[in-house]
């Protein structure tokens, strides 16, 4: 996946901080020359969330270089763990070492791991669904997935990076020095000291997993969008409010099926917009008339409403579609994620 960064915008937005601006421009320039992109930017993505980075890498890039205080905060933790005095935290040399460490890591990753990162990401993702669980409230727990990534990093990635740097440390350091713009005293020993407490050792492979998932999800949406496009003529006018959409959907259910739909009062509805009942069937519906895809919250509310009302089904209706996370949560919790057309088709079949 090609990741484009508007370096002119970066330079403009960082112009009030000349040193940081120059650093950003050099980082982009030399990374491009060395073929380090996009993997060197995974560390940046980890700071601002992968979605933000993939949607707007320029903004993520700027955010990274403006947050130089983050390095000082991390150095506080590291220095305290090493038993060093707090006064050293503000040392420019030490902050420079932190920058150098991440630059050298990104360089090594690009040289050693880029070719197999996507392949390994596919293997790791095959276990992801079984390692992420949802509790009875629909809340996600991913500690086992994180542990799996950490184990992979320790077993595969970190050792390979270390072996590469033991033979090519000088060239990696030259790259980092070009970006930093000065020769901070930095040795292989300094590198290992700075990585003893590496909070982001899995970020590159997480980034690869996100890229693979994003591509797979894009492929899935081709099918979903084709379904949605056939129902646009039947959908409500865009000017309807959420409450009007709930009444509209209830009216269609009552008029076109043998089910009875009732709009809840709103206040104190416990996550249900509509209650649907029929012979041998009951359901709660969360109706979302949004212009963009909905996330986990609506699915969680529908799941909770089913528990509260004791209905057989929990359904979310959203004509603009769902985020990947919402699809996954719906699958795990048994909530039906549907469109206006598909819910009517389902109820017509169930009411025969």
Separate counts of helices (H) and strands (E) for the chain: 17, 7
| Separation of alpha carbons 39 and 109, rounded Å | 7
Say what the pLDDT of residue 235 is.
Answer: 46
| Separation of alpha carbons 24 and 18, rounded Å | 10
Say what the pLDDT of residue 225 is.
Answer: 46
Say what the pLDDT of residue 167 is.
Answer: 94
**Could you give the dihedral angle defined by the CA atoms of residues 90, 183, 164 and 75, in that order, rounded to the nearest 10 degrees?**
0
Asked whether the beta carbons of 322 and 337 are under 8 A apart, the reply is: yes
pLDDT tens track, the chain, 352 positions: 567 788 778 777 776 666 667 777 888 888 888 877 776 777 777 767 777 777 788 888 877 776 655 555 555 555 555 555 444 444 455 556 777 887 888 888 888 877 777 788 888 988 887 888 776 666 678 889 889 988 888 888 778 888 899 999 999 999 888 887 766 778 888 888 777 766 667 777 888 887 777 766 555 444 444 444 444 444 444 556 677 888 889 999 999 888 899 988 754 557 788 999 987 788 999 988 777 788 888 898 899 889 888 898 999 998 888 888 888 889 888 999 998 888 988 888 876 6
| Separation of alpha carbons 161 and 158, rounded Å | 5
Task: Give me the DSSP letters along 92-155.
Answer: HHHHHHHHHHHHHHHHHHHHHTHHHHHHHHHHHHTTHHHH-EE-TT--EE-HHHHHHHHHHIII
Which DSSP category does 44 fall into?
H
Measure Cα distances from 295 to 19, 206, 301, 326, 329 in Å. 39, 21, 11, 5, 9
| Separation of alpha carbons 97 and 48, rounded Å | 22
Say what the pLDDT of residue 231 is.
Answer: 45
Closest CA to 99 of 124, 64, 132: 64
Which residues have C-beta within 8 Å of that of residue 1, sequence separation ≥ 6? Answer: 38, 211, 214, 215
Closest CA to 112 of 165, 43, 53: 165
Specify the DSSP element, H or E, that contains 2. none
| Separation of alpha carbons 333 and 300, rounded Å | 9
Measure Cα distances from 221 to 56, 122, 323, 347, 348 in Å. 20, 19, 10, 24, 26
Specify the DSSP element, H or E, that contains 333. helix 324-333
Claim: this prediction has a pTM higher than 0.75: no
**Could you give the dihedral angle defined by the CA atoms of residues 29, 35, 41 and 42, in that order, rounded to the nearest 10 degrees?**
-170
Residue 337 three-state SS: strand
Dihedral sign from CA coordinates of 44, 46, 51, 52: negative
Which residues have C-beta within 8 Å of that of residue 330, sequence separation ≥ 6? Answer: 299, 316, 322, 336, 337
Asked whether the beta carbons of 254 and 260 are under 8 A apart, the reply is: yes
Q: Which residues make beta-bridge pairs with 325?
A: none
* Tokens read off for 12: 């403009």
């Amino acid at each position: 996946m090609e990741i484009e960064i508007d370096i002119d915008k970066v330079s403009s937005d960082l112009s009030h901080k000349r040193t940081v601006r120059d650093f950003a421009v050099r980082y982009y320039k030399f990374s491009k020359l060395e073929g380090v992109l996009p993997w060197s930017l995974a560390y940046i993505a980890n700071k601002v969330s992968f979605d933000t980075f993939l949607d707007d890498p320029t903004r993520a890039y700027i955010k990274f270089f403006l947050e130089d205080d983050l390095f000082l905060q991390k150095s506080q933790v590291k220095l305290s763990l090493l038993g060093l005095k707090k006064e050293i935290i503000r040392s420019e040399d030490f902050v420079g070492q932190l920058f150098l460490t991440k630059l050298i890591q990104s360089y090594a990753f690009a040289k050693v791991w880029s070719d197999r990162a996507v392949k390994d990401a596919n293997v790791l993702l095959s276990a992801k669904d079984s390692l992420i669980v949802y509790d009875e409230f629909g809340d996600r727990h991913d500690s086992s997935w994180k542990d799996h990534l950490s184990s992979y990093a320790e077993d595969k990635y970190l050792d390979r990076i270390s072996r590469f740097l033991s033979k090519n440390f000088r060239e990696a350091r030259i790259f980092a020095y070009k970006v930093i713009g000065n020769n901070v005293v930095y040795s292989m020993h300094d590198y290992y000291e700075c990585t003893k407490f590496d909070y982001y050792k899995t970020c590159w492979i997480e980034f690869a997993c996100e890229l693979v998932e994003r591509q797979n999800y894009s492929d899935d949406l081709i099918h979903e969008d084709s379904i949605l496009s056939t129902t646009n003529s039947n959908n409500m006018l865009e000017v309807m409010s959420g409450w009007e959409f709930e009444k509209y959907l209830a009216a269609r259910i009552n008029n076109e099926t043998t089910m009875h739909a009732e709009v809840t009062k709103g206040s104190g509805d416990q996550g249900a917009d509509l209650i649907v009942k029929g012979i041998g069937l009951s359901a709660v519906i969360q109706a979302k008339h949004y212009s963009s895809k909905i996330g986990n919250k609506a699915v969680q509310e529908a799941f909770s409403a089913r528990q509260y009302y004791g209905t057989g089904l929990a359904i979310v209706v959203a004509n603009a579609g769902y985020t990947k996370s919402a699809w996954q949560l719906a699958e795990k919790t048994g909530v039906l994620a549907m469109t206006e057309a598909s819910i009517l088709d389902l109820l017509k079949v169930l009411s025969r």
